[in-house]
Structure 1
Amino acid sequence: MKKVIAFAGTNSKNSINKQLSVYAANQLENVEIEILDLNDFELPIYGIDYEMANGIPNNAQLFLDKIKASNGIVLSLAEHNGAYASVFKNLFDWMSRIDGKLWSDIPMLLMATSPGARGGVTVLEVAKGRFPYMGGNIVADFSFPSFSENFSEGVITNEALNSELKAATSKLQEAL
Protein backbone atom coordinates (compact mmCIF):
# COMPACT_ATOMS: atom_id res chain seq x y z
CA MET A 1 0.00 0.00 0.00
CA LYS A 2 1.24 3.50 -0.85
CA LYS A 3 2.12 5.78 2.04
CA VAL A 4 1.19 9.46 2.10
CA ILE A 5 2.37 11.96 4.68
CA ALA A 6 0.22 14.99 5.45
CA PHE A 7 1.24 18.02 7.44
CA ALA A 8 0.91 21.75 7.83
CA GLY A 9 3.77 24.20 7.56
CA THR A 10 3.10 25.60 11.01
CA ASN A 11 3.39 24.73 14.69
CA SER A 12 -0.03 26.09 15.62
CA LYS A 13 -1.87 23.59 17.79
CA ASN A 14 -5.22 24.63 16.23
CA SER A 15 -3.91 25.04 12.70
CA ILE A 16 -6.44 25.55 9.95
CA ASN A 17 -3.75 24.36 7.55
CA LYS A 18 -3.45 21.09 9.44
CA GLN A 19 -7.22 20.66 9.27
CA LEU A 20 -7.09 21.21 5.51
CA SER A 21 -4.17 18.83 4.99
CA VAL A 22 -5.88 16.07 6.99
CA TYR A 23 -9.14 16.58 5.07
CA ALA A 24 -7.34 16.49 1.73
CA ALA A 25 -5.31 13.38 2.61
CA ASN A 26 -8.48 11.59 3.64
CA GLN A 27 -9.86 12.11 0.13
CA LEU A 28 -7.23 9.69 -1.18
CA GLU A 29 -8.10 6.04 -1.59
CA ASN A 30 -6.12 2.89 -0.84
CA VAL A 31 -3.28 4.68 0.90
CA GLU A 32 -1.81 4.65 4.37
CA ILE A 33 -1.85 8.20 5.76
CA GLU A 34 0.56 9.48 8.38
CA ILE A 35 -0.24 12.89 9.87
CA LEU A 36 2.90 14.74 10.95
CA ASP A 37 3.03 17.64 13.39
CA LEU A 38 5.97 20.05 13.31
CA ASN A 39 5.72 20.30 17.10
CA ASP A 40 7.09 16.75 17.24
CA PHE A 41 10.24 17.83 15.39
CA GLU A 42 11.54 20.80 17.36
CA LEU A 43 14.76 22.28 16.05
CA PRO A 44 17.14 25.08 17.01
CA ILE A 45 17.12 28.05 14.67
CA TYR A 46 19.33 27.26 11.71
CA GLY A 47 22.70 28.96 11.59
CA ILE A 48 25.99 27.88 10.08
CA ASP A 49 27.80 28.48 13.38
CA TYR A 50 25.38 26.17 15.20
CA GLU A 51 25.73 23.54 12.49
CA MET A 52 29.55 23.71 12.59
CA ALA A 53 29.60 23.40 16.38
CA ASN A 54 26.83 20.82 16.86
CA GLY A 55 26.09 19.18 13.54
CA ILE A 56 22.64 18.67 12.10
CA PRO A 57 19.95 17.96 14.70
CA ASN A 58 18.42 14.50 14.65
CA ASN A 59 14.88 15.86 14.21
CA ALA A 60 15.81 17.29 10.80
CA GLN A 61 16.99 13.86 9.68
CA LEU A 62 13.91 12.19 11.16
CA PHE A 63 11.55 14.48 9.25
CA LEU A 64 13.52 14.06 6.04
CA ASP A 65 13.35 10.28 6.53
CA LYS A 66 9.53 10.57 6.74
CA ILE A 67 9.51 12.42 3.42
CA LYS A 68 11.79 9.92 1.71
CA ALA A 69 9.80 6.93 3.03
CA SER A 70 6.57 8.31 1.56
CA ASN A 71 5.01 7.88 -1.86
CA GLY A 72 3.08 11.15 -1.66
CA ILE A 73 2.99 14.41 0.26
CA VAL A 74 0.02 16.58 1.25
CA LEU A 75 1.30 19.90 2.57
CA SER A 76 -0.69 22.99 3.50
CA LEU A 77 1.41 26.05 4.24
CA ALA A 78 0.55 28.73 6.74
CA GLU A 79 1.25 32.22 5.47
CA HIS A 80 3.06 34.64 7.78
CA ASN A 81 3.66 38.07 6.25
CA GLY A 82 3.48 36.62 2.75
CA ALA A 83 6.01 33.84 3.37
CA TYR A 84 6.45 30.52 5.15
CA ALA A 85 5.87 30.30 8.88
CA SER A 86 9.29 30.50 10.53
CA VAL A 87 9.01 27.00 12.01
CA PHE A 88 8.53 25.53 8.52
CA LYS A 89 11.30 27.65 6.99
CA ASN A 90 13.64 26.51 9.75
CA LEU A 91 12.83 22.84 9.15
CA PHE A 92 13.18 23.39 5.40
CA ASP A 93 16.61 25.01 5.92
CA TRP A 94 17.87 22.19 8.16
CA MET A 95 16.67 19.46 5.79
CA SER A 96 18.28 21.22 2.82
CA ARG A 97 21.65 20.93 4.60
CA ILE A 98 21.21 17.13 4.51
CA ASP A 99 19.83 16.90 0.96
CA GLY A 100 19.43 19.83 -1.41
CA LYS A 101 16.74 17.89 -3.28
CA LEU A 102 14.89 17.13 -0.06
CA TRP A 103 11.46 16.64 -1.67
CA SER A 104 12.97 13.72 -3.65
CA ASP A 105 10.59 14.14 -6.63
CA ILE A 106 7.79 12.61 -4.55
CA PRO A 107 4.35 13.67 -5.87
CA MET A 108 2.99 16.54 -3.80
CA LEU A 109 -0.33 18.27 -3.32
CA LEU A 110 0.67 21.75 -2.20
CA MET A 111 -1.96 23.91 -0.50
CA ALA A 112 -2.47 26.97 1.64
CA THR A 113 -5.41 28.42 3.50
CA SER A 114 -6.05 31.49 5.58
CA PRO A 115 -8.91 33.27 7.31
CA GLY A 116 -8.93 35.81 4.48
CA ALA A 117 -10.18 35.80 0.92
CA ARG A 118 -6.73 35.29 -0.62
CA GLY A 119 -6.33 31.83 0.92
CA GLY A 120 -2.57 31.99 1.45
CA VAL A 121 -1.97 32.47 -2.26
CA THR A 122 1.25 34.46 -1.70
CA VAL A 123 3.03 31.72 0.25
CA LEU A 124 1.69 29.17 -2.23
CA GLU A 125 3.31 31.10 -5.09
CA VAL A 126 6.59 31.36 -3.15
CA ALA A 127 6.63 27.59 -2.59
CA LYS A 128 5.63 26.79 -6.18
CA GLY A 129 8.58 28.88 -7.32
CA ARG A 130 11.09 27.40 -4.88
CA PHE A 131 10.20 23.74 -4.29
CA PRO A 132 10.98 22.46 -7.82
CA TYR A 133 14.62 23.51 -7.31
CA MET A 134 14.61 21.36 -4.19
CA GLY A 135 13.26 18.20 -5.83
CA GLY A 136 9.62 19.24 -5.51
CA ASN A 137 7.20 17.39 -7.76
CA ILE A 138 4.06 19.50 -7.32
CA VAL A 139 1.34 17.60 -9.17
CA ALA A 140 -1.48 19.85 -7.93
CA ASP A 141 -1.98 22.96 -5.83
CA PHE A 142 -4.95 24.46 -4.06
CA SER A 143 -5.60 27.80 -2.39
CA PHE A 144 -8.49 27.68 0.07
CA PRO A 145 -9.94 31.11 0.95
CA SER A 146 -11.91 32.26 3.97
CA PHE A 147 -11.38 29.10 5.99
CA SER A 148 -14.00 29.64 8.70
CA GLU A 149 -16.68 30.49 6.13
CA ASN A 150 -15.98 27.43 3.97
CA PHE A 151 -14.96 24.69 6.42
CA SER A 152 -17.01 23.33 9.29
CA GLU A 153 -16.94 20.19 11.43
CA GLY A 154 -14.05 18.70 9.49
CA VAL A 155 -15.41 19.20 5.96
CA ILE A 156 -15.44 21.78 3.19
CA THR A 157 -18.94 23.26 3.07
CA ASN A 158 -18.54 25.24 -0.16
CA GLU A 159 -19.32 22.77 -2.98
CA ALA A 160 -17.32 24.62 -5.64
CA LEU A 161 -14.22 24.66 -3.44
CA ASN A 162 -14.78 21.05 -2.45
CA SER A 163 -14.93 20.06 -6.13
CA GLU A 164 -11.73 22.00 -6.78
CA LEU A 165 -9.97 20.19 -3.94
CA LYS A 166 -11.25 16.81 -5.14
CA ALA A 167 -9.79 17.55 -8.59
CA ALA A 168 -6.44 18.35 -6.93
CA THR A 169 -6.49 15.18 -4.79
CA SER A 170 -7.37 13.16 -7.89
CA LYS A 171 -4.19 14.43 -9.56
CA LEU A 172 -2.18 13.29 -6.54
CA GLN A 173 -3.99 9.94 -6.53
CA GLU A 174 -3.08 9.43 -10.20
CA ALA A 175 0.57 10.35 -9.54
CA LEU A 176 0.85 7.77 -6.76
Structure 2
Amino acid sequence: MTNAGASDARDRDTTGRARSARPRDGLGRPLPYGAEGVPRQPEGVLRAPVQTVAEAQALLTAGRPFHAHEVFEDAWKSGPEHERTLWRGLAQLAVGLTHAARGNAVGGARLLRRGAGAIEEWVAERGEERPYGLDLPGLAGWARELAGRVEQDAAPVDARAEAPRLGG
Protein backbone atom coordinates (compact mmCIF):
# COMPACT_ATOMS: atom_id res chain seq x y z
CA MET A 1 0.00 0.00 0.00
CA THR A 2 1.38 3.41 -0.94
CA ASN A 3 1.01 6.32 1.40
CA ALA A 4 1.30 9.68 -0.40
CA GLY A 5 2.49 11.39 2.77
CA ALA A 6 5.30 8.86 3.20
CA SER A 7 6.29 9.33 -0.42
CA ASP A 8 6.51 13.10 0.04
CA ALA A 9 8.55 12.68 3.24
CA ARG A 10 11.00 10.53 1.29
CA ASP A 11 11.61 13.19 -1.39
CA ARG A 12 10.13 11.32 -4.35
CA ASP A 13 9.09 12.83 -7.66
CA THR A 14 5.72 12.23 -9.31
CA THR A 15 6.97 8.95 -10.83
CA GLY A 16 8.19 7.66 -7.47
CA ARG A 17 11.92 8.14 -8.15
CA ALA A 18 13.98 9.22 -5.17
CA ARG A 19 14.83 12.93 -5.36
CA SER A 20 16.53 14.31 -2.32
CA ALA A 21 15.39 17.85 -1.64
CA ARG A 22 18.17 18.32 0.89
CA PRO A 23 20.60 21.09 0.07
CA ARG A 24 24.06 19.98 -1.09
CA ASP A 25 27.55 21.36 -0.72
CA GLY A 26 29.90 21.96 -3.62
CA LEU A 27 30.98 18.31 -3.61
CA GLY A 28 27.41 17.06 -3.69
CA ARG A 29 27.27 15.99 -0.06
CA PRO A 30 23.87 16.38 1.59
CA LEU A 31 23.55 19.16 4.14
CA PRO A 32 20.91 19.39 6.87
CA TYR A 33 17.48 20.59 5.78
CA GLY A 34 17.36 24.38 6.01
CA ALA A 35 21.12 24.80 5.47
CA GLU A 36 22.31 26.95 2.60
CA GLY A 37 23.79 24.81 -0.14
CA VAL A 38 24.97 25.41 -3.67
CA PRO A 39 22.47 25.44 -6.53
CA ARG A 40 21.68 21.96 -7.77
CA GLN A 41 22.51 20.96 -11.29
CA PRO A 42 19.29 20.28 -13.21
CA GLU A 43 19.07 16.69 -14.44
CA GLY A 44 18.08 15.47 -17.87
CA VAL A 45 19.13 18.60 -19.74
CA LEU A 46 19.82 18.11 -23.43
CA ARG A 47 22.90 20.10 -24.47
CA ALA A 48 25.02 20.22 -27.58
CA PRO A 49 28.36 18.48 -26.96
CA VAL A 50 30.29 21.78 -26.97
CA GLN A 51 27.83 23.14 -24.37
CA THR A 52 28.34 20.03 -22.25
CA VAL A 53 32.11 20.51 -22.33
CA ALA A 54 31.89 24.25 -21.56
CA GLU A 55 29.45 23.81 -18.69
CA ALA A 56 31.39 20.92 -17.19
CA GLN A 57 34.65 22.87 -17.44
CA ALA A 58 33.12 25.86 -15.63
CA LEU A 59 31.90 23.57 -12.83
CA LEU A 60 35.26 21.78 -12.54
CA THR A 61 37.11 25.12 -12.44
CA ALA A 62 34.74 26.26 -9.67
CA GLY A 63 35.63 23.17 -7.61
CA ARG A 64 32.28 21.43 -8.23
CA PRO A 65 33.20 18.10 -9.84
CA PHE A 66 30.02 16.40 -8.58
CA HIS A 67 27.96 18.86 -10.57
CA ALA A 68 30.24 18.45 -13.61
CA HIS A 69 29.63 14.71 -13.32
CA GLU A 70 25.88 15.34 -13.62
CA VAL A 71 26.41 17.39 -16.80
CA PHE A 72 28.47 14.57 -18.32
CA GLU A 73 25.90 12.05 -17.15
CA ASP A 74 23.18 13.91 -19.07
CA ALA A 75 25.29 13.60 -22.25
CA TRP A 76 26.00 9.94 -21.52
CA LYS A 77 22.34 9.08 -21.06
CA SER A 78 20.87 11.22 -23.84
CA GLY A 79 23.63 11.32 -26.43
CA PRO A 80 24.15 9.07 -29.42
CA GLU A 81 24.99 5.45 -28.65
CA HIS A 82 28.44 5.70 -30.28
CA GLU A 83 29.46 8.47 -27.82
CA ARG A 84 28.26 6.88 -24.58
CA THR A 85 31.65 5.42 -23.66
CA LEU A 86 33.20 8.88 -24.04
CA TRP A 87 30.66 10.68 -21.85
CA ARG A 88 30.55 7.87 -19.29
CA GLY A 89 34.33 8.02 -18.98
CA LEU A 90 34.27 11.78 -18.47
CA ALA A 91 31.52 11.41 -15.85
CA GLN A 92 33.67 8.84 -14.06
CA LEU A 93 36.64 11.23 -14.05
CA ALA A 94 34.51 13.94 -12.47
CA VAL A 95 33.00 11.66 -9.85
CA GLY A 96 36.46 10.21 -9.16
CA LEU A 97 37.69 13.73 -8.40
CA THR A 98 34.59 14.18 -6.23
CA HIS A 99 35.42 11.11 -4.15
CA ALA A 100 39.09 12.12 -3.90
CA ALA A 101 38.05 15.56 -2.65
CA ARG A 102 35.70 13.98 -0.12
CA GLY A 103 38.61 11.91 1.24
CA ASN A 104 37.57 8.57 -0.29
CA ALA A 105 41.00 7.61 -1.66
CA VAL A 106 40.07 4.07 -2.71
CA GLY A 107 36.87 5.04 -4.52
CA GLY A 108 38.41 8.16 -6.01
CA ALA A 109 41.42 6.33 -7.43
CA ARG A 110 39.25 3.50 -8.75
CA LEU A 111 36.86 5.86 -10.56
CA LEU A 112 39.67 8.00 -11.95
CA ARG A 113 41.30 4.90 -13.44
CA ARG A 114 37.98 3.54 -14.70
CA GLY A 115 37.25 6.86 -16.42
CA ALA A 116 40.74 7.00 -17.92
CA GLY A 117 40.24 3.47 -19.26
CA ALA A 118 36.88 4.36 -20.80
CA ILE A 119 38.20 7.39 -22.65
CA GLU A 120 41.29 5.46 -23.77
CA GLU A 121 38.96 2.73 -25.07
CA TRP A 122 36.95 5.36 -26.94
CA VAL A 123 40.12 6.78 -28.53
CA ALA A 124 41.34 3.28 -29.48
CA GLU A 125 38.01 2.42 -31.13
CA ARG A 126 37.55 5.73 -32.92
CA GLY A 127 41.09 7.01 -33.41
CA GLU A 128 39.91 10.46 -32.36
CA GLU A 129 41.84 12.15 -29.54
CA ARG A 130 40.19 15.60 -29.57
CA PRO A 131 36.42 15.34 -30.05
CA TYR A 132 34.67 18.61 -29.17
CA GLY A 133 38.06 20.12 -28.26
CA LEU A 134 38.65 17.57 -25.48
CA ASP A 135 42.25 16.50 -24.84
CA LEU A 136 41.50 12.83 -24.17
CA PRO A 137 45.12 11.60 -23.86
CA GLY A 138 45.85 14.51 -21.51
CA LEU A 139 42.76 13.76 -19.42
CA ALA A 140 43.64 10.07 -19.15
CA GLY A 141 47.16 10.98 -18.03
CA TRP A 142 45.82 13.51 -15.51
CA ALA A 143 43.42 10.92 -14.07
CA ARG A 144 46.04 8.18 -13.72
CA GLU A 145 48.55 10.56 -12.13
CA LEU A 146 45.97 11.90 -9.67
CA ALA A 147 44.80 8.37 -8.85
CA GLY A 148 48.36 7.43 -7.89
CA ARG A 149 48.77 10.49 -5.68
CA VAL A 150 45.38 9.99 -4.03
CA GLU A 151 46.22 6.38 -3.18
CA GLN A 152 49.64 7.30 -1.86
CA ASP A 153 48.59 10.30 0.23
CA ALA A 154 45.09 9.10 1.23
CA ALA A 155 44.20 12.71 2.13
CA PRO A 156 41.40 14.74 0.56
CA VAL A 157 42.46 16.78 -2.45
CA ASP A 158 41.39 20.31 -3.29
CA ALA A 159 38.88 19.85 -6.12
CA ARG A 160 39.48 23.35 -7.46
CA ALA A 161 43.26 23.03 -7.45
CA GLU A 162 43.14 19.56 -9.03
CA ALA A 163 40.49 20.36 -11.65
CA PRO A 164 41.58 19.23 -15.10
CA ARG A 165 41.56 21.31 -18.25
CA LEU A 166 39.24 19.43 -20.58
CA GLY A 167 40.84 20.94 -23.67
CA GLY A 168 44.53 21.37 -24.19
TM superposition score normalised by structure 1 = 0.35
More strand per residue: 1 or 2? 1
More helix per residue: 1 or 2? 2
TM superposition score normalised by structure 2 = 0.36
Greater RCO (CA < 8 Å, at least 6 residues apart): 1
* Rg comparison, structure with higher value: 2
